[in-house]
Amino acid sequence: MIPRYTRPEMAAIWSEENKFCRWLDVEIAALEGWSKIGVVPAITVEKIKKKAKVDVARIQEIEKVTNHDVIAFVEQVSRTVGEEGRYIHYGMTSSDVLDTSLALLLRESGGILLGDIKVLLATLKDNALRFKDKVVMGRTHGVHAEPVTLGFRFAGWYYEFLRNYKRLENAIDEISVGKISGAVGTFSNIDPRVEKYVCKKFSLQNERFSTQVISRDRHCYFINVLAVIAASCEKVALQIRLLQQTEVGEVAEPFGKGQKGSSAMPHKRNPILCERICGLARVIKKNASVAMENTSLWYERDISHSSAERIIFPESLMLLDYILTLLNRVLNGLDVFDTNIERNIAMSGRVFFSQKLLNALAMKGLPREKAYEMVQRKSFEAIRTKKDFVQLVKNDPSIRAYLSEKEMDRIFDTKLLLKNLDKLFEEMQ
């Protein structure tokens, strides 16, 4: 991933240096496992642990000849150890190292994302409670519907990311699996006790009946959970972009001192952060499709998944780490414009009371179809003439015949329209 969209902690996990160090960790753990069952002398393992060093540049030089990164790694590390290097990779196949170390990298990366979501959850909850009484216009199909509150929107996002947190926990558990079972997974050249030892050391599950690789349904699930979380980030960012449109203007993402919106038009304040979130989320969602394709491999394994995984795992994890952090920054610095909110509510002429009125007339004994026609006629009149819907209704004899002034006042009370939200917010606290 390009540095522009990469945070240092996540980048460090996916560095070449760290990757090879995790490979070495797995190799040494396997040697310890062999030692526990008396195959490799314990003193030899200790010598290897002291001498073994990773040299990324040298590995890359060797790979130019071998055209095989694991062989290049084993050769380089073995040479740093000396005579004892002959034990390294004993009985193992490349994927024993690759898949087990990949599980460690994915679990560590997932832990960072869980931390990101925790921070975002705190921001969402804080804003939900802060704006729980801030009435705004609700829209369906982009058209004014009924009022909601700004806090109501934040609360919905909060619970969505709570679900995402649980999904990611499950995905991390799903991917925390190791495999040290040899060329086709049958333990033909390695003792199952070695795998058991390695997995226990790293707190991984043992993959049951692996082939040469850990089954890619696990990896597919993990990436797809990342895609779901990215889609949630995109959803929130898109809402802010819509609300920042000039004709709406209810909120705006932060705009820093000295920031410029357009190279040509100095008046522009563009939602570039939210647009960036939406754009990067698309990359993660597309990577989920690649993970789906990687699930089907030839027989006990081919290598078609490998090249793609070198891209989709670090890319998706780095991007999601970045956009979760960026979204939190946006929501922490969100500008809210009360004047525009009030203007937009008034714009509809209070036609949002139409369902309340429809229900009241139906309860008075009117056939629903007739009541609907009466209310729709007044609603369209209010919209066409830009007059207040409530006053038009109160001045209509055909409606006054069924409802008293007091009943109408109760119907047209915005607070009563939203009264049930208080209970929801109490549960949230």
Active site amino acids: 141, 262
β-bridge mates for residue 376, sequence order: none
- Length, in residues, of the chain: 429
Determine the Cα angle at 54 with ends 48 and 56, to 5°: 160
10 Å CB burial of residue 17 (0-12, 13-18, 19+) is exposed
Please choose, from the candidates 252, 285, 283, the residue with its C-alpha nearest in 3D space to the C-alpha of residue 269: 252
CA distances from 346 to 29, 90, 387 (A): 69, 76, 10
> Which residue bears the tokens 């009563």?
416
The whole-angstrom separation of Cα 374 and Cα 168 is 51
Cβ(261)–Cβ(253) below 8 Å: no
CB atoms within 10 A of CB 191: 16
Residue 326 class from Cβ within 10 Å (0-12 exposed, 13-18 middle, 19+ buried)? Answer: buried
Residues ≥6 apart with Cβ < 8 Å to 34: 40, 45, 87, 90, 91, 191, 194
